[in-house]
Amino acid sequence: MITYIKRKDLEVEKYDACIENSLQSRVYAFSWYLDIVADNWDVLVLDDYKAVMPIPWKKKYFIRYVHPPLWLLELGVFSLDANINFQIFFKTLFRAFRFVESRLNTDMKIDADSVFLEPKEMQVLSLEQGYDAVFNNYRKDRKKDLAKANKLDLTEKWKDSAVNLITLFKNNVGKRTPNIQESDYIILKKLMTICIEKRVGEVLSIYDNENQIVASGFFLKHKKTVTILVSSTDFKNRKNGANTFLIDKAIQEYEKDFDIFNFGGSSMQSIAKYFLSFGGNSLNYQQIKLNTLPFLFKLFKK
C-alpha cells in the first residue's frame, strides 16, 4: 500500500535507512539534503518504508506542483526490493498533483512508451581499470588540453573554499543562466558546507601561475560513485585547458576509492560530447513531465 506522508510526519530514521540501503541509493534523496534544497517535500511510502519516492513541490496561484529544485540531479523511487512496481507510485503521484516535472534515476527501468516520460542522458566513466587505462582512452583533444595546461603551470588546490567556486560560477556560468537567483546561491553555499561537514563533498580548484582561479568543481561522494554537482571555468580563459585539467586531477584522486565518475550529466549534445571525450559512456534515464491542469491553467508556470 502506498501512503502519502507529509515531511513533518515522516519517520526520518526509517526513511533515511531506506535511502541508504536501497538499490538506487543517491545522496540527493536523504532527508538532510532535501531539507536544504527543496522549498517543500513530501514522500510516497510503500508499506513500512519498503520503498519511498520523495516529492519536492512548490505552490503558485494556489496550485501545488512537482518540480526539481536546483542542485539535485536524480530522484525517483528508492526501493529495497528489485521487483517493485514503479507504476503504483506514479498513479498515486498523479492523483496528488496535476502538474509534475521530476527527474528519475538511472537505476529505474521503466517502459519508455509511457506518455508522461521523456528520455534524458547523463555521462559516466568507469574507474575500475585504474587511471592509466582511463587516460589511454582520452580522446586526442583532451590529451592536447592537458599538455597545454601543464605548460601553463596550472596547479590544483583541494579543499578550496566553497565561496571561491560559487563566485567563479556566478561570474561565468551564472551570467548565462539568468533563472538562477541569489537565493539559489545561498542554498548552494549551505549545501556545500553541510556536505563538506558530512565528508560527502569537497571542492577542487585550479589556479594559474598568478594565483588566479581558472576552474573549480564540487564533487559529491556516495558509495562507489563520485559526481560533479557544480563546476565552472573562467570564460575569459577557456583555451588554457583548465577544465580538462580539473576533471583529470579529480579522476586521478578518486580512481583509488570509487568505481564510477559521474560528470553530472547533460542531454545537450555539445556538453555530452565533451564529457564522452574522457572515454565515458551515456546512461539513459527518464524525466516525468505531466500537465493535466485545466486549459486556462496549463501555462501557469511560465
CA 230 – CA 209 distance, rounded (Å): 24
203 has a pLDDT exceeding 60: yes
Q: Cell 585550479, residue?
A: 206
Q: Domain range spanning residue 108?
A: 2-121+285-297
* 105 and 268 Cβ atoms separated by less than 8 Å: no
The secondary structure element, H or E, covering residue 14 is helix 12-21
Is the domain of 187 the same as that of 219? Answer: yes
Same domain, yes or no, for 111 and 180?
A: no
Residue 168 shares a structural domain with residue 249: yes
pLDDT per position as a tens digit, 147-177: 999 999 999 999 999 999 999 999 999 988 8
Percentage above 90 pLDDT, the chain: 83
Q: Is residue 251 part of a domain?
A: yes
Q: Which three cell numbers stand for residue 166?
A: 560559487
CA distance to 3, 4, 297, per residue, from 95 (Å): 12, 11, 17
pLDDT at 33 over 90: yes
Q: What is the average pLDDT value for the chain, to the nearest integer?
A: 93
If asked whether residues 132 and 117 sit together in one domain, one would say: no
Strands 51-60 and 78-79: antiparallel
Determine if the pTM surpasses 0.85.
Answer: yes
Q: Which residues of 47-79 are buried (b: 16+ CB within 10 A; e: fewer)?
A: eebebbbbbbbeeeeeeebbbbbbbbbbbbbbb
Same domain for 36 and 6: yes
* Number of structural domains in the chain: 2
**202 and 181, same domain (yes or no):** yes
**CATH code of 216's domain:** 3.40.630.30
